[in-house]
Structure 1
Amino acid sequence: MSASVAARWVVVDIEGTLTPTSQVHVVLYDYARPRLGPWIEAHPDDPVVRDAVAEVRAEAGLAPDAGTAEVVAVLHGWMDADRKAAPLKALQGLIWQDGYARGELVTDYFGDVVPNLRAWKDRGLGLAVFSSGSVAGQVASFSNTTSGDLRPLFAAHFDTVNAGPKRERASYEAIAAGLGGPRPEQVVFLSDVPAELDAAVAAGWRAVGLARAGEPFADADFGAHPVVGGFDEIDIEVVA
């Protein structure tokens, strides 16, 4: 498998694309789960926490004064269902940010990821991230990795709050605008989820599917999208 594309920008997904799914569903989720309640209790005046708790109560149909235990029960249910809920992502992002800062969390990547990201940046490509995880969580995850601090690699970060759902065309149009308005065909999106690639192509982007061995979408139907098993199999021509 191999793919050749021309681009100015490379936008990458994280889970299943840069990192194993277990990095999120096991390592990060297990870290956040027992800390949600204590974090809410310890930061009652943080506007991000306060707004997130209010959103959970509203979305779950809880009473406006529902206690932390009720809110956490909803959050745990959303985690079990892998629901991409904005208030959950906001709270997880704060907890993960703290965990990375403490050195208790370290991100590990597929072996082909970091060398190619660095090579692409050195060749003049712009790199950005689009993940369902909050921007705060994304930035934190790049701050403490087995390859050092990778934050300088990326020029922009997008999530489902500042861009929109990952399976909708409008989200990719919003990201292109946020990147300074490159022509759509000058942006390539790398993801392991076929429906996300479909949405990117609908917005005029290029797209390459990642079918990584052992990952949930390894045997997915990627349709007409070019598919690779890793970043080493992607040849990107830099266009002006």
Structure 2
Amino acid sequence: MIEAIVTDIEGTTSSLSFVKDVLFPYARAKIPAYLQQHADQPEVRQVLKEVDQIAGESLDLSRQTQQFIAWMDQDQKITPLKSLQGMVWRDGYRQGAFKGHVYPDAAKQLQTWKQAGLALYVYSSGSVEAQKLLFGYSEFGDLTPLFSDYFDTRIGGKREAASYRAIAGRIGLPADRILFLSDIEAELDAARAANLQTYWLVRGQSVNIDASHPQAVDFAGIHLQ
């Protein structure tokens, strides 16, 4: 019996185009000025320290900024980059530059599951900060009360089974009572290797009954039995 559901964001609850066409360009444009203005703030100092640790040397702010931009252009899932993006997006959300995109079927089903007593969690390569902002400033209002906790790459990579074992440990349930939702097969493979149940979101496609994981075109098509 499923007692908890962990959901991915991009391509699962939310449109890939929102992240790629709205959030990423906004962050890329704003990061240089943001670092100049906020370099002395503790949370920014921390991500700059992490950049130096990855580089293996102490970089000046100009080179640190260049590194963030290079990682963005390479679509790298680097933790300090994800943290910085979350900070920049926080300003954007608060200023009303955009609202977090959530598919209507996802918003409705998440609320239904919550009312049914299921515990809901988020696991995304975007930082926990970015996750909370997307759902907190969503087109459906503040959806953060639906979720019990959030996980990002600080717990491990999304294609590593150890990450899902760690998540199951944090949730405190046997892994086979947890369902993981994603649009990426390799992530689902890793979750299944950790003994989680899985569902593959294939939005805009047809369901393949012979696929390696149960498939659904939207949240309404997910069957928990």
Q: How far did residue 188 of structure 1 move?
A: 0.3
Residue 69 of structure 1 aligns with which residue? Answer: 62
Q: Taking structure 1 as the reference length, what is the TM-score of the superposition?
A: 0.87
Residue 180 of structure 2 aligns with which residue? Answer: 189
Hey, what's the Cα distance between the residues in 1 that align with 2:201 and 2:85?
26
Structure 2 unpaired stretches of 5+: none
| Contact 2:202–2:217, Cα closer than 8 Å, also in 1 | yes
Residue 196 of structure 2 aligns with which residue? Answer: 205
Alignment of 1:170-185 (within 5 A): 170-179=162-171, 181-185=172-176
Letter in 2 for 1:235: H
Instruction: Indicate the SS of the match to 1:10.
Output: strand
| Contact 2:181–2:198, Cα closer than 8 Å, also in 1 | yes
Q: How far did residue 112 of structure 1 move?
A: 1.2
Residue 52 of structure 1 aligns with which residue? Answer: 47
Hey, what's the Cα distance between the residues in 1 that align with 2:211 and 2:45?
43
Q: How far did residue 193 of structure 1 move?
A: 0.6
Instruction: Indicate the SS of the match to 1:112.
Output: helix
Is 1:36 the equivalent of 2:28?
Answer: no
Hey, what's the Cα distance between the residues in 1 that align with 2:134 and 2:162?
26
Q: How far did residue 52 of structure 1 move?
A: 1.2
Letter in 1 for 2:156: G
Letter in 1 for 2:70: G
Q: How far did residue 236 of structure 1 move?
A: 2.0
| Contact 2:5–2:120, Cα closer than 8 Å, also in 1 | yes
Residue 137 of structure 2 aligns with which residue? Answer: 144
Aligned length, in residue pairs:
224
Instruction: Indicate the SS of the match to 2:140.
Output: coil
Residue 100 of structure 1 aligns with which residue? Answer: 93
Q: CA offsets, 1:28-69, max 9 Å, x none?
A: 0111112111111212222221121122234245x51x3333
Q: How far did residue 219 of structure 1 move?
A: 9.7
Hey, what's the Cα distance between the residues in 2 that align with 1:167 and 1:46?
33
Letter in 2 for 1:31: Y
Structure 1 unpaired stretches of 5+: 1-5
Larger fraction in helix: 2
Q: CA offsets, 1:131-154, max 9 Å, x none?
A: 000001111111111111111111
Instruction: Indicate the SS of the match to 1:109.
Output: coil
Select which of 133, 138, 156 maps to 1:164. 156
Range 47-56 or range 138-147, more displaced? 47-56
Hey, what's the Cα distance between the residues in 2 that align with 1:124 and 1:115?
15
Hey, what's the Cα distance between the residues in 1 that align with 2:204 and 2:74?
23
Larger RCO (CA under 8 A, 6+ residues apart): 1
Q: Identity of counterpart residues, as a percentage? A: 41
Hey, what's the Cα distance between the residues in 2 that align with 1:57 and 1:223?
43
RMSD: 1.9
